Amino acid sequence: MLTSFQERASIADPRLLDRDLSLLAFNERVLNWSVRSDVPLMERLRYLCIVSSNLDEFFEVRAEPHLSAALAQDEKGQYSTESFDRLADALHQLVARQYSIYNELLMPAFASEGIRIVAHGDRTVAQRAWVKQYFEKEVRPLLIPVGLDPSHPFPQVANKSLNFIVRLRGEDAFGRENEIAIVKVPRVLPRLIRMPGRVAGNKALFVSLSSVIRAHLADLFKGRELWQFSQFRVTRHSDLAVDEDDVQNLRMALRQGLEHRHYGQAVRLEVSAGCSEHLADFLLKQFALPDKSLFRVQGPVNLVRLTQLIDLVDRPSLCFASYKPRFPVQMHLTRSIFEQLKERDIVIHQPFESFDGVLAFLREAVQDPKVLAIKQTIYRTGADSELMDLLREAVRRGKEVTVVVELKARFDEEANINWAEMLESIGAQVVYGVVGLKTHAKMMLVTRREGKSLKRYGHLSTGNYNPRTARLYTDISQLTADAGITSDMEQVFVHLASQNELPKLHKLWMAPFHLHQQLIEKLDAWGQAAAAGQDARIVAKMNSLTDEALVRSLIAAGQQGVKIDLIVRGACILPAGVPGYTDNIRVRSIIGRFLEHSRVFYFRVGEVEDIYLSSADWMNRNMVRRVELAWAVTDEALKRRVIDECLVAYLLDGVDAWDMQPDGSYARARLDGHLLPHGAQRALMDRYGRLEMS
C-alpha cells in the first residue's frame, strides 16, 4: 500500500543518486560541447567558459556544507567527510579535463587560425618591449604590493578576485626579512590585451593580464630577490542568508548583506600548477582550507574571463551562424492583442519565437487608455530592461501598477533592489512577496475596462521577464483571456500583497500550497490506472529532478506499469533503467545551443491527454519554499503544438541528447539505424528561422 506523500518525503532510499555529483555530471555534458568537431571554435571556447562559470556558482552555493562537515570531521549524514572527499575527487577530475581541453585542443586549434595568447617565453623582443610599455603605463600605477608583517597581516581577498603571492629573499627597506607579499590585481583591468599589428603582424595575438604582471613582478620589489610566486584565486560561500523573521526591512538587510558577500567562508583555492608547496600551504592555512580544496591549474585561474577573446576577435566563421527569432506566429502585428486573445489563447516558444511578443502585449497595455491596472512578478529581469521602462511609463500614464519583486533572486539581488527602489520612487506599488518564500512564479495580469465591465488578460511563463536570457533560454509562455485562469491570477496577486489566506484556485496549481500534492496525486492516480490494465504514459521536461517524494512517486508509478520519459537538463537523482527497479523509466538530458529551461508535464491515460506548463522544477525548494505556478493547456491545437515542439522533438533528438545509464552515468543518445540524426533545437530553429527569412 502506498504511503501518503508526507510520509514518503521522509523515507530514505539509498539507491537514489547523489544530487551534487549529478550536477557535476551535467557540467561534464556541457563540457563535451568544447570537444565537438561540429561546433565552431569560438563556441567551443564559450562552452568551456560556461563550465567554469557554473563551477564558480557550484562552489559559491553547494560546497560549503560538505566542507564544513569535513573540517568538523563529521563521518555521517548527508554532508560528511566522505561526501566532501567524493565531491572533491569529482571536481578535481572535471577541472583537470577542462584544462586538458584548453591546452591540448582549443589553444592549438586557435593557433592554426592565427589566434594566440602568447606566453612571455614565446614573445619576440619587440613584443616584450610592447608588453613592458603596457605594464608601465596601464598596469603598474594600479598595483599596490603588500608585504606581510605584524602590522600588515594577510589582506582581505575578495571572492573570485585575481591575486599574486610572492616569496622574497633579502631584507626590506627596514632591514627585516619578511618574505611574503601579496599583489591584488584590480578588476577594472581587462584580462586579455590584444597586441597591436606592428608587433603581431597579420595575426590576432594576445597577452593575458596575469602573464603581463608575472613578467614584471620583480620590478615591484626593487632590492629584493624574487624567489617563488604564483597567481591565486579564492572562491567563497556566497549564498546570502537573512533571517526574515528577525529583520524589519528586508531590502535594507539584503543590501547590507551584499556588502559582505565577497568575503564569506573560503571554499576553494586555485593556484598555478607550478606554485611551490610552501606558498600553497601558506595560502591553505590563511583560508583555513584542507588540501583537497586546493586546485593547481595549468593556465589562467579564471577561465571565465576568456570569453573576452570571443568579443575581441571578429571572425564570424568561427561562431554560430546568427539566429534571429521570428515574431510569434500566432500574433498579428496589425491587430490588437486584446482582440486576438478574445478569440483564442496564444503560446510563445522562446527563443525560436521572440520575446518581442511579450513586450508587445505589455506595450499595448501601457498605451491603451482602457487599461486601468497592470500587475507583474519580477524574479530576474536584468540591470537594463525595456520591460521595466514600460512599467515606469505605465505609472507615468496614471495606471495602477503593482510589481512583486523577488529581492532574494540569487546573484540578482542588487539589480532587483535597484528596480524596487526606482518603482517605489515614482508611485508604483512594490510588494516583496511572502516572508520565508521566494516568489518564483512568472505572471503578468492586465485589467481593462470594456463597456460596463472589467476584463482581465494574463501572461504566464516558464521563464523570467528578461529580454537577454529570452534569446538564450528555451521557455514557453501563454497569453490568455480565460476568465478562470485570470481570476486565479488575481487571487494570487492579492495573496502575495496582503498575505491573507489564499482562496481556492480553480485553474492554477500553486506552491507551496497545492502543487506538490497535486503532482504526487496525479502520479499516484496514473500508477493505479496502469495497475488496473490501462495504457498510461508520463513525459515530464524540467531543469532538475531532486525532490525525493516526487522521485519515489515516479518510481512507484513506473513499477505499476506507467511508461515514463523524463527530460531533465541538469541534476537528476532518479536512477533510470535499473532492472527490477526503474525498468519503465528513461531519463535523458538535452544540452544544446540554447539552455533548456521550459517545464512541461504530460499525462495520458488511454486517449485522454493532460498537459501542464509550470515555473517550477521538481525540487524540494520549488515545492515547499517558493511561490510557483502550474497551469493546464486546454486548447487542443495548442496542446498538440506544445507536445510536438517541447516533448516529441526532444525524445527523438539524436544529436544533443544524453541518455542516463543504469549506473547513473550518461551516454550520447543512439537512435535506431533507420532514423536520421535529428537535433530538436536545430529543427525548431529551421521551422521558425526559415519563416523569419522568407
Tell me: the pLDDT tens digits for 514-539? Answer: 999 999 999 999 999 999 999 999 99
pLDDT at 176 over 70: no
Domains parsed from the chain with CATH numbers: 40-318 (3.30.1840.10), 337-506 (3.30.870.10), 511-693 (3.30.870.10)
- Identify the burial level of 178 via C-beta atoms within 10 angstroms of its C-beta, where 0-12 means exposed, 13-18 middle and 19 or more buried: middle
**Where does residue 353 fall: left (phi above 0), alpha (psi -120 to 50 degrees), or beta otherwise?**
beta
Which amino acid, residue 313? Answer: V
CA dist 615 and 475 (Å) reads 10
Is 440 among the residues known to form the active site?
yes
| Cβ neighbours of residue 113 closer than 8 Å, sequence gap 6 or more | 41, 315, 318
| 246-284 confidence digits (pLDDT tens) | 444 554 544 555 455 567 889 999 999 999 999 999 999
Take residue 296 and report the three cell numbers written for it: 593547481
CA dist 9 and 546 (Å) reads 12
**Is the CB of residue 13 less than 8 Å from the CB of residue 552?**
yes
- Say what the pLDDT of residue 106 is: 97
Lowest model confidence (mean pLDDT) among 247-256, 315-324, 389-398: 247-256
CA dist 387 and 362 (Å) reads 8
Which amino acid, residue 189? Answer: L
- Say what the pLDDT of residue 692 is: 36
CA dist 263 and 240 (Å) reads 11
- Say what the pLDDT of residue 691 is: 33
pLDDT at 54 over 90: yes
Q: In the predicted model, what is the mean pLDDT of the chain?
A: 89
**Is the CB of residue 457 less than 8 Å from the CB of residue 479?**
yes
pLDDT at 297 over 50: yes
The residue-averaged pLDDT of 588-607 equals 96
The most distant pair of C-alpha atoms in the chain lies apart, rounded to whole Å, by: 90
Residue 482, number of CB atoms within 10 A of its CB: 19
pLDDT at 332 over 50: yes
C-alpha closest to that of 379 among 347, 415, 354, 426: 415
- Say what the pLDDT of residue 1 is: 32
| 335-368 confidence digits (pLDDT tens) | 999 999 999 999 999 999 999 999 999 999 999 9
C-alpha closest to that of 67 among 266, 233, 263: 266
| Cβ neighbours of residue 446 closer than 8 Å, sequence gap 6 or more | 361, 365, 371, 373, 374, 456, 457, 458
Run of H or E residues at 7: helix 5-8
Buried b (16+ CB within 10 A) or exposed e, 113-129: eebbbbeeeebeeebee
Residue 39, number of CB atoms within 10 A of its CB: 17
384 vs 197 pLDDT, higher one? 197
C-alpha closest to that of 433 among 235, 623, 250: 250
* Residue bearing cell 490501462: 534
| 572-581 confidence digits (pLDDT tens) | 999 999 999 9
CA dist 240 and 237 (Å) reads 9
Phi, psi of 373 (to 5 degrees): -145, 145
Coil, strand, or helix at residue 333?
coil
* Band of pLDDT at residue 12, cut at 50, 70 and 90: very low
- Say what the pLDDT of residue 169 is: 84
Which amino acid, residue 552? Answer: R
| 114-165 confidence digits (pLDDT tens) | 999 999 999 999 999 999 999 999 999 999 898 887 666 888 898 999 999 9
DSSP one-letter code for 581: T
**Is the CB of residue 203 less than 8 Å from the CB of residue 139?**
no
The residue-averaged pLDDT of 662-687 equals 83
DSSP one-letter code for 196: P
Q: What percent of the chain has pLDDT over 90?
A: 73
Instruction: Determine which one of 216, 349, 440, 597 is catalytic.
Output: 440
pLDDT at 180 over 80: yes
Ranked by mean pLDDT, which of 73-82, 394-403, 593-602 comes out on top? 593-602
Coil, strand, or helix at residue 429?
strand
pLDDT at 326 over 60: yes
For the entire predicted model, the pTM comes to 0.90
Lowest model confidence (mean pLDDT) among 13-27, 267-281, 395-409, 649-663: 395-409
* Band of pLDDT at residue 429, cut at 50, 70 and 90: confident
- Say what the pLDDT of residue 649 is: 95
- Say what the pLDDT of residue 47 is: 97
* Residue bearing cell 530592461: 385
* Band of pLDDT at residue 388, cut at 50, 70 and 90: confident
- Say what the pLDDT of residue 165 is: 96
